[in-house]
Chains A and B, each alone.
Chain A
Amino acid sequence: MANPGGGAVCNGNLHNHRKQSDSLQSGNCTKNGIVKEAQQNGKPHFYDKPIVESFEEAPLHVMVFTYLGYGLGTLFGYFRDFLRNCGIEKCNAAVEREEQKDFVPLYQNFENFYTRNLYMRIRDNWNRPICSAPSALFDVMERVSDDYNWTFRFTGRIIKDVINMGSYNFLGLAASYDESMKTVKDVLEQYGLGVASTRHEMGSLDKHKELENLVAEFLNVEAAMVFGMGFATNSMNIPALVGKGCLILSDELNHASLVLGARLSGATIRIFKHNNMQSLEKLLRDAVIYGQPRIRRAWKKILILVEGIYSMEGSIVNLPQIVALKKKYKAYLYIDEAHSIGSVGPTGRGVVEFFGLDPRDVDVFMGTFTKSFGASGGYIAGRKDLVDYLRVHSHSAAYATSMSPPIAEQIIRSMKFIMGLDGTTQGLQRVRQLAKNTRYFRQRLNEMGFIIYGNEESPVVPLLLYMPAKVAAFARHLLNRKIGVVVVGFPATPLAEARARFCVSAAHTREMLDTVLENLDEMGDLLQLKYSRHKKSARPELYDETSFELDD
Chain B
Amino acid sequence: MATAAEQWVLVEMVQALYEEKEELIEEWQPEPLVPPVSGDHPALNYNVVSGPPSHNIVVNGKKCVNFASFNFLGLLDDPRVKAAALVSLRKYGVGTCGPRGFYGTFDVHLDLEDRLAKFMQTEEAIIYSYGFATIASAIPAYSKRGDIVFVDRAACFAIQKGLQASRSDIQLFKHNDMADLERLLKEQEIEDQKNPRKARVTRRFIVVEGLYMNTGTICPLPELVKLKYKYKARIFLEESLSFGVLGEHGRGVTEHFGISIDDIDLISANMENSLASIGGFCCGRSFVIDHQRLSGQGYCFSASLPPLLAAAAIEALNIMEENPGIFSVLREKCKRIHKALQGISGLKVVGESFSPAFHLQLQESTGSREDDVKLLQEIVNHCMDRSIALTQARYLEKEEKCLPPPSIRVVVTVEQTDEELERAARTIKEVAQAVLL
Contacts of A141 in B (CB 8 A): 107
- Chain B CB within 8 A of A204 CB: yes
Q: How many A-B residue pairs have CB under 8 A?
A: 346
Do A398 and B95 contact each other (CB < 8 Å), given the known contacts A104-B200, A192-B77, A301-B33? no
Q: CB distance B103 to A486 under 8 Å? A: yes
How many angstroms between the C-alpha atoms of A406 and B206 in the bound complex? 38
Do A134 and B103 contact each other (CB < 8 Å), given the known contacts A188-B85, A194-B71? yes
Q: What string of 1s and 0s marks CB contacts (under 8 Å) between B157-183 and chain A?
A: 110010011000000000000000000
- Chain B CB within 8 A of A288 CB: yes
Could you tell me which residues of chain A, from 439 to 492, have a CB within 8 Å of some CB in chain B?
Answer: 484, 486
How many angstroms between the C-alpha atoms of A374 and B30 in the bound complex? 39
Q: CB distance A289 to B24 under 8 Å? A: yes
How many angstroms between the C-alpha atoms of A131 and B107 in the bound complex? 6
- Chain A CB within 8 A of B434 CB: no
Closest 9 CB pairs of A and B: A229-B130, A389-B34, A231-B302, A204-B46, A400-B132, A200-B394, A94-B287, A167-B97, A202-B68
Q: CB distance B309 to A375 under 8 Å? A: no
Do A130 and B25 contact each other (CB < 8 Å), given the known contacts A230-B302, A264-B164? no
Please report B residues at the A interface, Cβ cutoff 8 Å: 21, 24-25, 28-31, 33-37, 41, 43-44, 46-54, 57, 59, 66, 68-71, 75-78, 81-82, 85-86, 89-98, 100-107, 109-110, 129-133, 136, 142, 156-158, 161, 164-165, 199-204, 229, 232, 234, 262, 270, 272-273, 275-278, 285-288, 290-291, 293-294, 297-298, 300-303, 305-306, 308-309, 312, 389, 391-396, 399, 409
24 residue pairs of the A-B complex, CB under 8 angstroms, read A97-B262, A105-B203, A130-B105, A164-B103, A167-B98, A167-B102, A176-B92, A184-B94, A189-B82, A193-B276, A194-B275, A194-B312, A196-B71, A198-B394, A201-B391, A205-B53, A370-B95, A374-B93, A375-B95, A376-B95, A388-B44, A398-B43, A401-B131, A410-B94
Q: CB distance A385 to B49 under 8 Å? A: no
How many angstroms between the C-alpha atoms of A115 and B270 in the bound complex? 28
- Chain B CB within 8 A of A328 CB: yes
Q: CB distance B50 to A398 under 8 Å? A: no
Q: CB distance B278 to A228 under 8 Å? A: yes
How many angstroms between the C-alpha atoms of A397 and B132 in the bound complex? 11
Do A188 and B278 contact each other (CB < 8 Å), given the known contacts A126-B101, A401-B131? no
- Chain B CB within 8 A of A49 CB: no
Least Cβ–Cβ distance between B22 and chain A, in angstroms:
9
Do A202 and B34 contact each other (CB < 8 Å), given the known contacts A104-B204, A263-B165, A401-B278? no
- Chain B CB within 8 A of A166 CB: yes
Please report A residues at the B interface, Cβ cutoff 8 Å: 94-97, 99-100, 102-108, 115, 119, 126-135, 138, 140-141, 164, 166-169, 173-177, 181, 184-185, 188-206, 209, 228-232, 235-236, 239, 241, 255-257, 260, 263-264, 285, 288-289, 298-302, 328-332, 363-364, 368-371, 373-376, 385-386, 388-393, 395-401, 404-407, 410, 484, 486
Q: CB distance A395 to B203 under 8 Å? A: no
Contacts of B97 in A (CB 8 A): 134, 167-169, 174, 370-371, 374
Q: CB distance A260 to B297 under 8 Å? A: yes
Nearest chain A residue, comparing its CB with the CB of B413: A196
Contacts of B300 in A (CB 8 A): 256
Q: CB distance A174 to B52 under 8 Å? A: no
How many angstroms between the C-alpha atoms of A312 and B287 in the bound complex? 31
Contacts of B86 in A (CB 8 A): 185, 188-189
How many angstroms between the C-alpha atoms of A96 and B142 in the bound complex? 14
Nearest chain A residue, comparing its CB with the CB of B142: A106
Q: CB distance B276 to A288 under 8 Å? A: no
Q: CB distance B33 to A288 under 8 Å? A: no
Q: Could you say which of A127, A135, A138, A376 has the most chain B C-beta atoms within 10 Å of its C-beta?
A: A376
Please give 19 more A-B residue pairs, beta carbons under 8 A apart, in addition to A201-B68, A205-B48: A127-B293, A129-B110, A130-B105, A130-B107, A133-B91, A134-B95, A166-B98, A167-B96, A175-B93, A176-B92, A191-B52, A193-B85, A257-B297, A260-B165, A329-B28, A332-B30, A371-B97, A388-B44, A401-B132
Least Cβ–Cβ distance between B219 and chain A, in angstroms:
20
How many angstroms between the C-alpha atoms of A395 and B294 in the bound complex? 26
Nearest chain A residue, comparing its CB with the CB of B389: A202
Contacts of B291 in A (CB 8 A): 106-107
How many angstroms between the C-alpha atoms of A276 and B167 in the bound complex? 30
